[in-house]
A and B are shown apart, each in its own frame.
Chain A
Amino acid sequence: MTLTDLLLQAVLALCVTIGFGVLFNVLPRALIPCGLVGVLGHLARFSLRQLGVSNEVSTFLGALVVGLFGYWVSRRLRMPRLVFTVTGIITMIPGISAYETIIFFSRGNILDGLQSAVRAGLATAAIAIGLSTARILTEFELSFYS
């Protein structure tokens, strides 16, 4: 993992996140902040992956970074947090495992298909748990119910 690797990944994540910001009709002044949230989350996940951390754990921590940093940005810009979290987690979508699931099932290979499906499900769950943890850490009301 060199600096150029990280820089390349940062630029890629920035493009992906801003592209989705445009698709979701985010206000122009929030596009760059959106992109930065996505870059931080992706870099956290990418470097953990390079250090040998499992995909699920690094995805969880990446989503946690997106949730926490997204909270801070949404506070500063006075915008809904959803704007920054939804665009921020796009780079973490488990595309390959989801695709493998279709391929294996369509070939009649149920066992490998199930394995890929579980892997895709775990990665999605890791994103969900990361974002939820960030919510619960930052929204005090959520810890109690009224």
Chain B
Amino acid sequence: MSQSVAIKDYSAEHTAEALEAITRIGVRMLRSGASSSRTKDTMDRVAAILGIEHFETFVTPTKIISIIYGKQGSFTRAMRVPLLGVNMSAMSKIRTLILETKEMTPDALKTWLDALESEKLNYTTAVVAVAVAIACGCFAIILGGGLLEAIGAALGAAVAQIARVTLDRRHVNPYIITAFGAFVASLISYAVMKAIGAPTPRIGLIASVLLLVPGVPLVTALLDLLHLDLISGLARGVYAIMLVVNIGVGMLVVLALTGFSIL
């Protein structure tokens, strides 16, 4: 570790507090879409910033177990990661914290974390829906479609994004959200393209579900595997594959309704 912070002599109570704060940072990282190896590295650095000498942690995509070995004995803390989302902003802020902070108390870290948790997203639901619609529309053109396919993809994607956010707020299982999102996106984009007479509806259909592709789990699975964190890498990879299969399931329903005629 590059930081050279003096090792603090914490009381038992303070050690437990420090351990809780460090583990919460880890949970926040995983919930923001960070890889397990990056999360572990961040927690190690935070432990160093707090002045803890012996810190060890076991990070899996859905659970963190961390241990401090101190003069007062050894302390363990396990925390579950409620939901795997993506929040690059939170990840960036934690990165800035560990790059720019030399020393911190557990209390200050907890206050900082509370502030981070209560922060709103940078963009409102409507803005995200529009951005996703534009992205999926442009993707349709990259895939070789025309303006009509782009319109179909954009509308399907926007509605699917709103549906996804709505279900996500009610803590619906991610597999159900993905399958339902794919169903809504392809149904709406197909209906729109049929109405405006798009020549290659399959392009619009493909582009409309792009927003559901698990890009972050796929890339972090790769990163974990590269860092020899095989357990996390495999778990994330399987999660990503499950989501991809669910996109297929959602689309299949629409394809069955149209008699598998969209090629």
Question: What residues make up the interface of A, taking CB atoms closer than 8 Å to B?
Answer: 9, 11-13, 15-28, 30, 42, 78-80, 82-83, 85-87, 89-91, 93, 95-96, 98-99, 101-103, 106-107, 124, 128, 131-132, 135-136, 142, 145
- Taking the complex as formed, is B189 at the interface, i.e. its CB lies under 8 A from any CB of chain A? no
Number of interface residues of B (CB under 8 A): 59
Q: A30-B92, A95-B210 are in contact. Are A25 and B123 (CB under 8 A)?
A: yes
Q: Is the interface of A mostly helix, strand, loop or mixed?
A: helix
Asked whether any CB of chain A lies closer than 8 Å to the CB of B159, the reply is no
**Which chain B residues lie closer than 8 Å to A89 at the CB level?**
215, 219
Q: Is B223 an interface residue (CB 8 A)?
A: yes
Q: How many A-B residue pairs have CB under 8 A?
A: 154
**Bound complex: CA of A142 vs CA of B224, how far in Å?**
11
With the chains together, A128 CA to B219 CA distance in Å? 7
Closest to B139 in A: A16
A78 touches B138 (CB 8 A): no
Q: Are B255 and A103 in contact (CB under 8 A)?
A: yes
Does more than half of chain B's interface fall in helix, strand or loop, or is it mixed? helix
Instruction: Please state if A26 and B88 are interface contacts (CB–CB under 8 Å).
Output: yes
Contact B138 A83 (CB under 8 A): no
Contact A27 B227 (CB under 8 A): no
Shortest Cβ distance from A66 into chain B, in angstroms? 10
Q: Which residues in A have their C-beta under 8 angstroms from that of B121?
A: 25
B127 partner, pick from A22, A106, A145, beta carbons under 8 A: A22
Q: Supply 15 A–B pairs (Cβ within 8 Å), ascending by A.
A: A12-B141, A16-B142, A23-B131, A23-B132, A24-B216, A25-B121, A79-B92, A79-B96, A83-B92, A89-B219, A91-B139, A95-B139, A95-B143, A131-B222, A135-B226
